[in-house]
Structure 1
């Protein structure tokens, strides 16, 4: 009996495209389940990295004590961030609604100076505002944020509890030693790249938020601390986050102050902070560890944002790194990984220890390295 001919490249590529479409549809329909799970996974990666930092940098912290300490610190930070949003956001957005008439008046003045005819008068625009409607939407958003945070913590607890069985699962899935080494190498490439990205975004976000707070406090902007917190979160979103950090607070200053000068000064200061950190500090810290094409970063932002909203925007770059590494492991999908990569080599290992040969990363047994 003659064997079936191997699938052609066209049929193989068609199957890849169909699989992407099906996976995207499933991710969209299951967003309520998958979004907190993805956030928990990346939070677990950060906790694992923080545990290794505490183990190697703090004297007296053993490997057994590093993970509980890192978990405690992370829960305190995560819980504090949730408390800040839930406690301060209602008053913050209520204040923005109070400034809405002034914003409409400002839009009317600017439109009149440039000769643009607005569709409604300022008074009509103000009358059409429904603060109760916006407050209701804000309350629902805060409720969703609180429930999502709770699910993230629940998922995180189960992920950390199941991490010790990861080694046995790898051995069971890949009995062949070479296949197991390749799978372990792919896992550590994903972990190291995502961990590097999250740490760099966190450090640069703290820099941007801290310097922005100094600039906002210097001109007397209301809720400067909460604005700094929002800027820190926005830095995790590529492109859009930087725009928000440099434009949103000056717009708020236009509504708060009678003069334009505080807003202008704040705009110049925030733009200078963004340029210095974004063009000088961030590239040196991040380097080429992600190896993702810049156009792919924009497309991933739009794609994951359409699927999972704000959470998808936060996770767009790490998810794309994960997809690129996994797709590079199979001959039928490697061409997709090549297109996603910046230099056409999705298999290239980044941030390897100096002097370590490429094959040394796969020689370690699972029991010799911690995993998220």
Structure 2
């Protein structure tokens, strides 16, 4: 059997290619992570524009995208303003709780039999301010540079959308190849949009139920805490830990005794367990056709390569990888393992506007201006 037709050799080459791709992604993380975030935002804005065009028929396709960009900027700006506005009062309130913090520290020190417990002021004074200020400065600098690159990439991606149709025609001159490319693109886009839908719905559920629990025990700034929990849900694992632990710790400072804090801790943990272990995997697995175990492994893989950005984008990146790998015989077995039902060629609950065969562009002859316009309807 020739080497190129040997299944063992072909699978070995696929595995080596995956390892080499992972190493390349790790080395070029500083360049690729802003681009990946920009592409993710571009898909989100494009989907938002199509929703506006569908819900508001009087808005043209050309006007829907700028309107979606403006609304997205307002939403992100309003979110940042709300957090900054409430964070100031929240920090001031924490300073007012200094005596209670000292009392909590003294009680905990008595439990572990520490004779001279420290105070909040002594703990702050004992910290190496220069070390932490340097860390904060580097974090702010990296965040600012990444945000700038993301905005630049996003602007160029949105500006170059009109050229994608002709590029697709040039890359896939045959109708069958173009059909597979368009369908694969729509599956990837559908997966990203469904991921956003699942994250938003589960985030609203967690935040809403958490607000009810926090308001029931009388926790201050319950609405602000619910908003922070909603934002944290978009960060896998770490967001769940924050949502279940941070409010009860604040309740220890606000209330006398441990009763309300323990009740709040139990309530938030139950909310996180039910939604995180029952609702979220079922919604994600059924909509994205991803195996729940593969979702966890993908989270670990992309977090190790791209850190927090990889953790945030782990699911859409895995959906994209599954769809692309399913197009080739040599790598289809990886896509089968990633899928939930063993059929990586399709996502569950596919979008109703996925093009049938007759809606795809005919073979190109020359400039292919007319097929390009027909392909644009699905991109």
Alignment TM class, shorter chain as reference: 0.7 to 0.9
* Structure 2 counterpart of 1:333: 331
Which has the larger displacement, 148-157 or 127-136? 127-136
1:82/1:47 CA distance change after superposition, 3 Å: same
Q: SS of 1:352's equivalent?
A: coil
**How far 1:123 sits from its partner (Å)?**
3.9
Q: Give the conservation status (yes or no) of the 8 Å contact 1:328–1:337.
A: yes
Instruction: Find the partner of 2:177 among 165, 176, 179.
Output: 179
1:218/1:150 CA distance change after superposition, 3 Å: farther
In structure 1, how many angstroms separate the alpha carbons of the residues matched to 2:208 and 2:340? 32
1:286/1:299 CA distance change after superposition, 3 Å: closer
Q: Give the conservation status (yes or no) of the 8 Å contact 1:94–1:135.
A: no
Matches within 5 A, 1:236-275: 236-274=234-272
In structure 2, how many angstroms separate the alpha carbons of the residues matched to 1:106 and 1:61? 58
**How far 1:129 sits from its partner (Å)?**
3.8
Instruction: Find the partner of 1:189 among 178, 181, 187.
Output: 187
Q: Give the conservation status (yes or no) of the 8 Å contact 2:336–2:343.
A: yes
Q: Are 1:360 and 2:356 matched, yes or no?
A: yes
* Structure 1 counterpart of 2:154: 156
Matches within 5 A, 1:336-355: 336-352=334-350
Q: Are 1:315 and 2:313 matched, yes or no?
A: yes
**How far 1:244 sits from its partner (Å)?**
2.8
In structure 2, how many angstroms separate the alpha carbons of the residues matched to 1:89 and 1:183? 47
Instruction: Find the partner of 1:205 among 203, 206, 215.
Output: 203
* Structure 2 counterpart of 1:301: 299
1:371/1:33 CA distance change after superposition, 3 Å: farther
Segments of 5+ residues of structure 1 without an aligned counterpart are: none
Q: SS of 2:356's equivalent?
A: helix
Question: Taking structure 1 as the reference length, what is the TM-score of the superposition?
Answer: 0.82
Matches within 5 A, 1:20-35: 20-35=18-33
Which has the larger displacement, 91-100 or 239-248? 91-100
Q: For each residue in 1:265-313, what CA deviation from the matched residue of structure 2 results, as whole angstroms up to 9, or x when unmatched?
A: 3324434544565577657765612111111111111111111111111
1:101/1:136 CA distance change after superposition, 3 Å: farther
In structure 2, how many angstroms separate the alpha carbons of the residues matched to 1:333 and 1:309? 26
Q: For each residue in 1:327-360, what CA deviation from the matched residue of structure 2 results, as whole angstroms up to 9, or x when unmatched?
A: 1100110111111111111112432356x9x982
* Structure 1 counterpart of 2:41: 43
Q: For each residue in 1:190-237, what CA deviation from the matched residue of structure 2 results, as whole angstroms up to 9, or x when unmatched?
A: 101111111221233234334434544565546655543432232123
In structure 2, how many angstroms separate the alpha carbons of the residues matched to 1:18 and 1:117? 56
**How far 1:140 sits from its partner (Å)?**
2.9
In structure 1, how many angstroms separate the alpha carbons of the residues matched to 2:131 and 2:43? 39
Q: Are 1:69 and 2:75 matched, yes or no?
A: no
1:158/1:298 CA distance change after superposition, 3 Å: same
**How far 1:76 sits from its partner (Å)?**
1.9
Q: For each residue in 1:117-153, what CA deviation from the matched residue of structure 2 results, as whole angstroms up to 9, or x when unmatched?
A: 99x9854994754455334423432332233222211
Which has the larger displacement, 7-16 or 299-308? 7-16
1:226/1:34 CA distance change after superposition, 3 Å: farther
Question: Taking structure 2 as the reference length, what is the TM-score of the superposition?
Answer: 0.81
Q: Give the conservation status (yes or no) of the 8 Å contact 2:285–2:292.
A: no
* Structure 1 counterpart of 2:364: none
Segments of 5+ residues of structure 2 without an aligned counterpart are: 362-371
In structure 2, how many angstroms separate the alpha carbons of the residues matched to 1:310 and 1:93? 25
Q: Give the conservation status (yes or no) of the 8 Å contact 1:246–1:270.
A: yes
Q: How many residues align?
A: 365
Which has the larger displacement, 102-111 or 129-138? 102-111
Q: SS of 1:36's equivalent?
A: helix
Q: SS of 1:28's equivalent?
A: helix
